[in-house]
Chain A
Amino acid sequence: MKIDHSLPLEYGTDQNQLNILGFWIFLGAEIMLFGTLFASYFTLVDRTGSGPSGAEIFEITPVLIETIVLLTSSFVIGLGVHAMRIGRTKAMITFYAITLLLGLTFLGVEIYEFMHYVHIGAGLQVSAFTAILLTTLGTHGAHVTFGLVWGFFIILQVRKHGITPETANKSFIFSLYWHFLDVVWIFIFSFVYLKGMM
């Protein structure tokens, strides 16, 4: 396999470059996916039927925790990529592991939040608003869950094979995914929660 040393390892081979560009284009599709969810959310936000509205059910504390945790995890995985680029396998694995732990924390808080909603009578089937709210949050949450498993697999592979063009490529792509989820969350935080509580 030809390896180009002028670029970071994750871009090293032709296939690696294809993978990264392909993933970026996939992220473009994801932007449309969440864009559609947002379009539906804004359409249905005031259609609460006999159920509660956003202002009545949102709470700032869990949302703030989720936000800080996810922002931090995005920063930490950035550190992981940095470590990877200077060849520090141990540090990289540690940073990736911390990222996943933070992701797990996020997920825990989100599950708590969902149970709370159901508990106070804002379950999935209550109204169009609750349905689109939980679907939007749930789609993001499902992405995070998927990311946790995927990230775990990647850590296993880096441990086994070290930082090779192949594992570096996978790790880098995973970091793109993770940052993207953070970006989506920022929009959820701003336009679902903060706008709802404004």
Chain B
Amino acid sequence: MEFFERFAIPHPSAPIYASMVAIGLTVIAIVAGLTYFKKWGYLWREWLTTVDHKRIGIMYLISALLMLFRGGVDAIMMRSQTAIPENTLLDAQHYNEVFTTHGIVMIIFMAMPFIYALMNFVVPLQIGARDVAFPRLNALSFWLFFMGAMLFNISFVIGGSPDAGWTAYFPLAGNEFSTSVGTNYYALALQIAGLGTLMSGINFIVTILKMRAPGITLMKMPMFTWSALTANVIVVFAFPVLTVALIMMTMDRLFGTHFFATTNGGMDMLWANLFWVWGHPEVYILILPAFGVYSEVISTFARRNLYGYKSMVASMVGISFLSFLVWTHHFFTMGQGALTNSIFSVTTMAIAIPTGIKIFNWLFTMWKGKIEFTVPMLYAVGFIPIFTIGGVTGVMLAMASADYQYHNTMFLVAHFHYTIIPGVVFAMIAGLTYWWPKMFGFMLNERIGKWAFWFIAISFNVTFFPMFFTGLDGQARRMYTYSEATGFGPLNMLSFIGALGLAVGFALIAYNVYYSTRYASRNISADPWDARTLEWATQSPVPAYNFAITPQANSSEAFWDAKKKGHELFKGEVQKIHMPSNSGVPFIMSCIFFIWGFSFVFSLWIPAILATIGIFICMAQRSFERDPGYYISVKEIKETESKLRGA
């Protein structure tokens, strides 16, 4: 019995027991359903072992949406708790756990897979490639991310959730103050997911640099591909920092070292430093692909080529470098003195310049265009003013001396939600709606989509705008309650109402998916939006080999040129196409990684060693394997093409 006690929840409550039951029932239902409908083989052959970038993209998408709802439930719980003064819905410990998991889930397990979902699906198509450079590695990236997410999500039913904030500052995150295994989960789950992300980063850089179809020079790449390139450059250079910081954290917690401890020379501030050396670039990893999505959406629906292509590229490249020069603005109040703070203040404000350039370019694109307000365009147009508020408040925060006032208040919370929600979440919904027909062969309902947009856009402001005021009035972030005398009550109630509105908006999106799957017409063209870039030049849904004939481009809008200016995209004859074969190893290896992480969380050394050996066996297998792949014959391609075209 003693052995099993460690898996108990240190701070249980009725909702957690209810979730345990719910999780158990769901798992049983899934297993039973798959068995009953005899879908295990299908699942394994078509999904678990796939190396196809499109399917991997769709799996990222599903994971991201699931995590969006998990993080959303956390958010509703927090806003309910703070809706009225001295509420007792959640106690302090639960509140800590909820805001910690909310932050991690949203950033690492919702936003990251969402951008990788779109990148996976769209980038190879936009550059006319067969797949990514390393399809097998791509599958491994996905499964590592997925297992990291699962490991993180079981924390609240086995052993306890992390509770030291998504930033996990020491000494709070050390053993002394975080006694449960929660923070171990944090370290291990992020480590595993982070490895996957790093591999994706390398994969996409190589894909974009080396696999572009003839004619697509760097300066003729569609803007989303450019944004993917710059974001992945940040990934490759930022994630190793997180890796190292997490190793040190794990060693402090499990092996008694003194990196971040307060004794024997340890330095708690070093954690904050390393965390933000990764953390600030991370927020730009999220925002750059979003910028890419908006560029595509705006030029499509303004019916005009993007204004200022070169300055768009230059500002993204600039951001990818500048984002590494500003991290200290997250801890201006730590005491490193006026000179250091001033340096980082200036670099931080400098980042607003390229961002501003982009905003103006989008405005100029729309200026002369004939705007059509589809759902993706609504999000793009809504993004501009809301994000600008986020940027402007960011510059306020960037003034080091003023930040002593704003830091760690709800003002900060308002700032970053004003950047991340219009920046990332709006963009992802826009991108999802925009590329949905390419992914699934039918469109999402525009009417429901517009309702969802208005609910989300208005409720977002109702939720977060009041926080600027309570923050300036001194309401600290991460406090589970406040007294009536502070006067924060009414504005917090307003936020709560807004949060409910947001929930309605997201529920509408979910309903839209259901509704459109059932009722939407399957009889749509391969180019329903009258779009401009290459991904719309192939069939919908996209055949496994992407393009029957490799396209030839002459500009960043090759497909538009083909439609309007008589440019010939597909020259030559259909040839047999080489394909990589599926493999179960990425999935199996990631399962072993899950066991590995779980064993570390609970300091179970024997399974940890066995899992480590298992991981190395998988790598050895890869080293010795000869994988010639297979070919799709000309006949098969022609049949697929005529079938899709006929439909």
Contacts and interface: CB of A to CB of B under 8 A. Distances in A.
A and B touch in the complex (CB under 8 A): yes
B259 interface: yes
Interface residues of A, number: 38
A36 B327 CA distance: 14
Contacts of A33: 240-241, 243-244
Nearest to B205: A25
Given A22-B133, A48-B265, A128-B259, A28 B236 contact: yes
Nearest to B211: A18
Contact of B240 (A18, A22, A36, A149): A36
A137 interface: no
A28 B251 contact: no
Contacts of B239: 29
B14 interface: no
A190 interface: no
A36 B264 contact: no
B267 A128 contact: yes
Nearest to B133: A18
A45 to B, nearest CB: 10
Given A18-B210, A153-B623, A128 B264 contact: yes
B13 interface: no
B28 to A, nearest CB: 41
B206 A25 contact: yes
Interface string A116-128: 0000000011111
Nearest to B241: A36
A37 to B, nearest CB: 6
Contacts of B245: 36
A127 B258 contact: yes
Nearest to B623: A153
Contact of A44 (B133, B205, B259): B259
A120 B623 CA distance: 41
Q: Report which residue of B240, B263, B623, B624 has the largest number of chain A beta carbons within 10 angstroms of its beta carbon.
A: B240
A61 interface: no
B237 A44 contact: no
Contacts of A26: 202
Interface in A140-163: 149-150, 153-154, 157
A44 B265 CA distance: 8
A89 interface: no
Interface string B172-212: 00000000000000000000000000100111011001110
A129 B265 contact: yes
B31 interface: no
Q: Report which residue of A33, A131, A149 has the largest number of chain B beta carbons within 10 angstroms of its beta carbon.
A: A131
Interface string A45-76: 00111110000000000000000000000000
Interface residues of B, number: 43
Given A22-B134, A153-B620, A131 B259 contact: yes
Contacts of A154: 623
A3 interface: no
B266 interface: yes
B42 to A, nearest CB: 30
A197 interface: no
B270 A44 contact: yes
Contacts of B244: 33, 36-37, 40
A21 B209 contact: yes
Nearest to B137: A22
Contacts of B198: 29
Contact of B236 (A25, A39, A47, A126): A25
A33 B264 CA distance: 25
Interface in B249-278: 251, 255-259, 261, 263-267, 270, 273-274, 277
A4 interface: no
Contacts, number: 111
B202 A22 contact: yes
B170 to A, nearest CB: 12
A21 B206 contact: yes
B248 A128 contact: no
Interface string B597-631: 00000000000000000001000100110100000
B402 interface: no
A30 B243 CA distance: 11
Nearest to B243: A33
Q: Report which residue of A26, A40, A50, A157 has the largest number of chain B beta carbons within 10 angstroms of its beta carbon.
A: A40
B334 interface: no
Contacts of B247: 135
Given A29-B236, A49-B265, A36 B274 contact: yes
A17 B251 contact: no
A51 B258 CA distance: 12
B361 to A, nearest CB: 29
Contacts of B273: 43
A17 B207 CA distance: 11
A146 to B, nearest CB: 9
B305 to A, nearest CB: 31
Given A18-B206, A22-B206, A128 B265 contact: yes
B275 to A, nearest CB: 11
Given A32-B237, A157-B624, A18 B267 contact: no
Contacts of A127: 258, 264-265
Interface of A: 17-18, 21-22, 25-26, 28-30, 32-33, 36-37, 39-40, 43-44, 47-51, 124-129, 131-132, 135, 149-150, 153-154, 157, 166, 170
Interface of B: 133-134, 198, 201-203, 205-206, 209-211, 236-241, 243-245, 247-248, 251, 255-259, 261, 263-267, 270, 273-274, 277, 616, 620, 623-624, 626
18 contacts: A18-B133, A21-B209, A22-B206, A26-B202, A29-B202, A32-B237, A33-B240, A37-B244, A40-B270, A49-B264, A124-B251, A125-B256, A127-B265, A128-B267, A132-B259, A135-B248, A153-B620, A153-B624
10 closest cross-chain pairs (CB), A and B: A47-B265, A49-B264, A128-B265, A49-B265, A33-B240, A131-B257, A32-B240, A36-B244, A127-B265, A18-B133
